[in-house]
Amino acid sequence: MTTLRNLPSVEQILQTETAAHLIARFGRPLTLDAIRFVLDDTRARFKSGLITALPLIDMLLAQAESQLTAWTKPTLLPVINASGVILHTNLGRAPLSDGTIRAMDIVSRGYSTLEYDIELGQRGSRLIHAESLLQKLTGAEAAVVVNNNASAVLLVLSALANRKRVVISRSQLVEIGGGFRVPDVMKQSGARLVEVGTTNKVHISDYEEALIESTGLVMRAHRSNFKLIGFTEEPELKEIAETAHGFGVPVVDDLGSGALYDTAKYGLAHEPTVQESLQAGADIVCFSGDKLLGGPQAGIIVGKLGQIAKIRKHPLARAVRADKACLAGLSATLLHYLKDEAEREVPIVKMMSLTLKQVKGRAEAWAVELGHGKVVEGESTVGGGSLPGESMPTFLLSLEVKSVERFLRGLRKNHPPIIARTENDKILLDPRTVLPEQEGALLVGLKNLLKNS
């Protein structure tokens, strides 16, 4: 009669050659955890009657290996983005340039001058890194980098407007991804929210009336992820800044997407640039590093020296500071702009600058290589909460398959996973967002799926 006494012990299992291999791969503590987990599970299933025969040692080790693989399998994986969405928030937004990756790798492999002054041989400040590049590129007096733009806005408001009135148009009380709401952030900072105008119309007189009472800041939040059209009106930033300055109140412009170049150059609507905001009179401008800038995730604050000095000294600045990899990567990305090589080096700018002829050529080459599908006209989008409603003409490889859902699942299970889109029961793949170095893996994955579908 089979009883639990027949179940091998942990020590018996550890004496096997297979267990030694598992320990070499996964380490002894984790392997022990897996073996105990499998034994406990086996005992529970035997007692409940789910199994009547106890597995042999080889089977127990196979189960332990399966458990170890599941425990150690990474969840953050590289994917091939063939969706045509350039800044795909769910896929990590901006892919980084080779120069940016090298810079991050170099400072991450050893020690660095993160907070060390080489000239003086003493403690320095991480806040200086990337500042000179931002000054040259934007014309700002000073700059500070934090971990993302939400942090940048929170830090600015906390440092400059705690317990003070902050005037903002009702049309700019926006919510972006992940439930980030401008009104909530303003309240969290300790600022007192003062709404002016209506959701569709605000006049400069609305600002003037609000500014009669003592005010800490005037804030503008750029609507980077939606458009307000129809019966609408609001003053330009320059007019808002002139009015606020007349009352001695500084202006903060939350640009969000953070373009340093004219997006109209690529057939898109013009996205306000950081330089334009500063020239219009904004005292502080906040923007992202991983959106239209095309760098690592970062929140960037540029503006007047006096305000930046207050921001740097605020206790929250330490809580949201950027790490060495971010600072190195951002500096390398900014250097591409300073050297006028962004179209050649920054992936998202390269994608936007591709000509229709280039995109069509890649799609046609794919169709020839696969011996399947046809090239059709389509649209790419910028995404990432930038340039809402804007698209770029493109060419797509359209594949007709027996089951669209099954094929999409197969694409997602590929190594690396392939993310595509569908339309009219066709699989659509956009060459614009497929990195050149991933093209081979894309075609191999598609060939295998087409052969087996």
pTM of the model: 0.90
Same domain, 364 and 321: no
What pLDDT is attached to residue 167?
92
Domain boundary residue, one of 319, 345, 371: 345
Same domain, 334 and 357: no
| Residue 446 covered by a domain | yes
Residues 6+ apart with CB under 8 A from 124: 113, 115, 116, 117
Q: What is the mean pLDDT of residues 253-267?
A: 90
Domain with 207 in it: 98-345
CA proximity to 301, closest of 279, 282, 280, 319: 282
Q: Is the model's pLDDT at 322 over the cut of 80?
A: yes
| Residue 119 covered by a domain | yes
Same domain, 110 and 20: no
CA–CA gap between residue 184 and residue 173 (Å, rounded): 9
CA–CA gap between residue 145 and residue 129 (Å, rounded): 8
Same domain, 275 and 338: yes
Q: What is the mean pLDDT of residues 126-137?
A: 94
Q: Is the model's pLDDT at 46 over the cut of 80?
A: yes
- DSSP SS3 for 229: coil
CA 289 from centre of chain = 9
Residues 6+ apart with CB under 8 A from 180: 150
What pLDDT is attached to residue 84?
94
What pLDDT is attached to residue 231?
57
Q: What is the mean pLDDT of residues 264-291?
A: 93
Same domain, 293 and 425: no
CA–CA gap between residue 317 and residue 168 (Å, rounded): 24
DSSP 3-state helix, strand, coil percentages of the chain (rounded to 5)? 50, 20, 35
| Residue 93 covered by a domain | no
User: What is the side-by-side order of every strand in the sheet holding 284-288?
Assistant: 142-146, 299-303, 284-288, 251-256, 217-221, 165-169, 192-196
Domain boundary residue, one of 296, 330, 345: 345
- pLDDT tens across 10-37, in order? 999 999 999 999 999 999 999 999 999 9
Same domain, 24 and 84: no
Same domain, 354 and 381: yes
What pLDDT is attached to residue 179?
59
Q: What is the mean pLDDT of residues 53-81?
A: 94
Percent of the chain, pLDDT > 70?
Answer: 94
Least confident of 274-278, 331-335, 364-368, 383-387: 383-387
Domain boundary residue, one of 299, 315, 345: 345
CA–CA gap between residue 378 and residue 207 (Å, rounded): 44
Same domain, 138 and 286: yes
| Number of other residues whose CB lies within 10 A of the CB of residue 134 | 23
CA distances from 172 to 131, 221, 278, 419 (A): 29, 5, 19, 33
CA–CA gap between residue 34 and residue 40 (Å, rounded): 10
The CA radius of gyration of the chain, in Å to the nearest whole number, is 28
How many separate domains does the chain show? 3
Same domain, 387 and 338: no
Which CATH number is 125's domain given?
A: 3.40.640.10
Average pLDDT over the chain reads 91
Which CATH number is 359's domain given?
A: 3.90.1150.110
Between 17-26 and 28-47, two packed helices, what is the crossing angle to 10 degrees? Answer: 120
**Cα pseudo-dihedral 42, 45, 46, 47, rounded to 10:** 120
Q: Is the model's pLDDT at 117 over the cut of 60?
A: yes
CA–CA gap between residue 149 and residue 157 (Å, rounded): 12
First to last CA, the chain: 49
Same domain, 126 and 65: no
CA–CA gap between residue 151 and residue 67 (Å, rounded): 39
CA–CA gap between residue 87 and residue 358 (Å, rounded): 20
Alpha-helical (H) ranges within 274-315 are 274-279, 305-313
- pLDDT tens across 159-181, in order? 999 899 999 888 777 666 555 67
Between 131-138 and 324-338, two packed helices, what is the crossing angle to 10 degrees? Answer: 30
What pLDDT is attached to residue 225?
53
- pLDDT tens across 356-403, in order? 999 999 999 999 999 999 999 999 998 876 776 678 999 999 999 999
Same domain, 256 and 107: yes
- pLDDT tens across 281-315, in order? 999 999 999 999 999 999 999 999 999 999 999 99
Burial bucket for residue 45 (CB in 10 Å: 0-12, 13-18, 19+): middle
| Residue 363 covered by a domain | yes
Same domain, 172 and 265: yes
Which tokens sit at 313? 């000294």
| Residue 247 covered by a domain | yes
Q: Are 303 and 152 in contact (CB under 8 A)?
A: no
| Residue 191 covered by a domain | yes
